[in-house]
Amino acid sequence: MPDPFADAGPAEAGPDQIQEAARRLAQGRLVAFPTETVYGLGADAENPEAVARIYAAKGRPSDHPVIVHLSPDTDPGYWAASIPAQARRLMAAFWPGPLTLILPRAARIPDAVSGGQDSIGLRCPSHPVAQRLLRAFASLKPHGCGGVAAPSANQFGQVSPTRADHVRGEFPHLDAQALMILEGGASAVGIESTILDLSRLDRGVGPVLLRPGHVTAAQIAEVLGEVPALPDAAAPRVSGSLKAHYAPRTPVSLVDAGALSSLLQRGAADAPGRRLAVVVLDAAPYAAPPGIDWIVLPADPAVYAHRLYALLRDLDEAGYDRILLQRPPAGPDWQGVNDRITRAAAAFG
């Protein structure tokens, strides 16, 4: 498929920085790097001590799996115990790109990357800086199949970073020796990858959509000839599956468009002096009461996703008392966005 994320923007790490980052990964150190979804906090996926540094830096629970990122040249069969035909078809259709596949983990791969489970999440990012880093790192491995474990480069549960300066703001306690950050411009997609479970096909289960994203269930169904099922109680644990996640510091609420007027008028009367940011679709519906600022985003799920996390960070910095998000449409193209903002709001009850 055509790669819609090929333009990484004007700021990109150069060849010397890429080689230095690959050497650091081989030494068991941390490197943050851009992908088309969000920036990742990376470590050698075959080095449990290096992976533990990711968990420590993020404050991430040790049973919460991370995704292993592979270059386009790397054989996923090194990492997975088996690769079913369905996985091969999806790789051909969507790799490189924002789709993570959950497969049975090869016995040679430490379970540090899977939170102790017998499955593993694999992804091949399309961002050119990520690809150059992954190729350089793989070249340093005797088997040539190096993979980089990389959850989003932020404190656990917080808003994922879509620019390098976001990463720097998340880890001020880590100096340049402890964490190298590669520049790559703003992430094009802006929300995390779609996650599809194919690890239980031999037990008659799957495919199962564990996290929606830019690659939609309909697109997956076009390739596989079946619509992926919703998560079940026995599904593997995966990144971003907690009820409360992706949350800014400022409290967030979701509001239906029809309830905005009465809610804001009542809020202005009941709590004068509060500053509210209200994110709406397409246009501000009416003149806002004092202390309320409209932020208008296009009613386009791809544009909304691209801008969402950076906007939430900007609103945090602006010092609002609360962020109200107009609830987007419920259609399949909005599933990834709705998943992220629902979990962000859940962090505040």
pLDDT in tens, 145-183: 999 999 999 999 899 999 999 999 999 999 999 999 999
Query: Kind of pairing, strands 276-281 and 292-297?
Result: parallel
Q: What is the pLDDT of residue 31?
A: 98
Cβ–Cβ < 8 Å for 220, 228: yes
Whether the per-residue pLDDT at 345 is higher than 60: the answer is yes
Q: What is the pLDDT of residue 245?
A: 84
Query: Kind of pairing, strands 252-255 and 322-326?
Result: parallel
pLDDT class for 271, splitting at 50, 70, 90? low
Of the candidates 84, 290, 299, 307, which has an alpha carbon nearest to the alpha carbon of residue 200? 84
Q: What is the pLDDT of residue 62?
A: 86
pLDDT in tens, 307-339: 999 999 999 999 999 999 999 999 999 999 999
Model pTM greater than 0.75?
yes
The pair of structure tokens assigned to 314 is 């900007």
pLDDT in tens, 52-90: 999 999 999 888 999 999 999 999 999 999 999 999 999
Contacts of 171 (CB under 8 A, 6+ apart): 32, 57, 153, 179
Q: Is 141 exposed, middle or buried (0-12, 13-18, 19+ CB in 10 A)?
A: middle
Q: What is the DSSP letter of 201?
A: G
Structural domains of the chain sorted by starting position, each given as residue range(s) with its CATH number in brackets = 15-224 (3.90.870.10), 252-346 (3.40.50)
Written as one letter, the residue type at 82 is S
Q: What is the DSSP letter of 289?
A: P
Distance from the Cα of residue 348 to its chain's centroid = 21
